[in-house]
Structure 1
Amino acid sequence: MVWSNNLEINAERGKVVVLAIDLQEANWPGGDWPVHDFNGVLERSAMVIGAAREAGVPVIFTRQWHSPDGSDLLRYEPLNEEGLPPHCMAGSKGAELSAAVSAQPGDIIIDKTRYSAFFATRLEIVLQRLGIERLIILGVWTDACLETTVNDAVWRGYRVTLVKDAATTATATMHKSAILSMANWLYGGEILTAHAAVEALAGRDHKSWRFTKPSQFLFEADTIDTLYEQI
């Protein structure tokens, strides 16, 4: 387990992007897909996104975005009572990005129909065109959309910086478990807080946990909280 103070992100300027996963209106309490502490995650995500823009680092947003006819849903995904997609239907309020992190001119929006932002989207083409080597990843559904996107990024040879407190899922425990699971296989990656990410994007020294070997965190239900704080 390694903690490091480093300027790696600054050294990689021009090869870094912020990838914000599914920060959509559906995630508010009462929405189709409510998540834990969405307001706090939006605030911290906005900090990182703002720092990226100031540093000239590209920002990519993803949206879960389904056709109203349901033709792009998972084969066995249930429809709602009206026979329509149950969440994030194109053009619906729930599918829109939250106003707290709304896209600005120059930002890129990638619409997706599956958990991973890489599956059947133009994301990898965009990353290759930009010459990206490192993804700073944040957003919602840590154990689904984030985890599958992170795994796909690592398998494709990208380095991932995971912003642990600018991510969330249905419960805090589910979130922490997913972060630990990703940490176990985050080859070439690091995990840090939103504050540290802001420092890194500003070109200042920052503290982060860095991957050194696989399966470091052999967590159980009663050790999740303690181990999560070590990252």
Structure 2
Amino acid sequence: MDRTAVLVMEMQRGVVGDIAKFPDLVVACDKRDVIRNAAHVLNGARARGIPVVHCTAAFRADRAGSHASTTPFLAHLLKDPAHMLDGTAAVEVLPELRDPGDLESRRFHGFSPFTGTSLDMTLRSLGVTRVVAVGVSLNLGIQGLAIEAVALGYRVTVVTDAVAGIPEDYAQAVLDHTIGLLATRVTAARLWEDAG
């Protein structure tokens, strides 16, 4: 029997919340009702005693531990000296998704919640064998999460209406042609119904 945890990818105020720097991603989340669907998933998990782990991203002001030169996207983001600074409101989890009993795994480098963090050890200490993914983005974060989770031996489920990416046709292609090869796909309404 699988022991499940829900991983919430970058559902932070500075990513898709009230102080977001990614307006197109905010629109995609609104269009797909991602925040409401993610909240449904998290509430169901908590009611069943399933751990919720917020996988957050942040940068230090001095950029130590963040290799901006590794990708054009990171280099662009880090031109803004205030972007997603650790300890600021931008890195906070969206209030409607937060609960005092939730866990958090913060990273300062890369796009996957596993590399360079203690997430794998945390999940193993909880006996987790299956992860359920919600959040953003299908462009990088959700793909990275799914690929690395599978490589580490976890079974993966992606909640299709609690994830988003841009542009919309590309995000759907990722769900169909990449995530579909790595993970079980299910809607928020069916997730806990299918789990029993």
Q: TM-score, normalised by structure 1?
A: 0.74
Aligned partners of 1:93 and 1:153: how far apart in 2?
28
Distance 1:67 1:31, change over 3 A: same
State whether structure 2 residue 82 is matched by structure 1 residue 94: no
Q: Which SS does the other structure have where 1:161 is aligned?
A: strand
SS of residue matched to 2:67: coil
Are 1:141 and 2:134 counterparts?
no
SS at match of 1:37: helix
Q: Is the 8 A contact 1:32 1:94 kept in 2?
A: no
Q: Deviations over 1:168-224 (max 9, x none)?
A: 1233222112112323431xx3100010113235x2xxxxxxxxxxxxxxxxxxxxx
Is 2:63 aligned against 1:70? yes
How many aligned residue pairs are there? Answer: 184
1:56 matched to which residue of 2? 49
Correspondent of 2:113 among 117, 120, 139: 117
Displacement after TM superposition at 1:30 (Å): 6.6
Partners of 1:24 and 1:63 within 8 A in 2:
yes
**1:20 and 1:60 in contact (8 A); partners too:** yes
Q: Which residue of 2 aligns with 1:195?
A: 189
Rounded Cα–Cα distance in structure 2 between residues aligned with 1:126 and 1:155? 16
CA offsets 1:61-103 (integer angstroms, 9 cap, x no match)? 111111111122223224335xx15x3211222211111101x
Give the superposition deviation at 1:138: 0.8
CA distance in 2, matches of 1:18, 1:71: 29
Give me the identity figure in percent: 24
Residues 1-231 of structure 1: pairs in structure 2 closer than 5 A: 11-12=1-2, 15-26=3-14, 27-28=16-17, 31-34=20-23, 35=25, 36-39=27-30, 40-76=33-69, 77-78=75-76, 79-80=78-79, 84=81, 87-102=83-98, 104-113=99-108, 114-186=110-182, 189-201=183-195, 203=196
CA drift at 1:54: 0.4
Question: Residues 128, 158 of structure 1: CA spacing in aligned structure 2 closer, same or farther, 3 A cutoff?
Answer: same
Report which of the two structures shows the higher radius of gyration computed on alpha carbons.
1
**Runs of 5+ consecutive residues of structure 1 not aligned to the other structure:** 1-10, 204-231
The answer to whether the 8 Å contact 1:19/1:138 transfers is yes
* TM norm structure 2: 0.86
Segments of structure 2 that go 5 or more residues without pairing to the other structure are 70-74
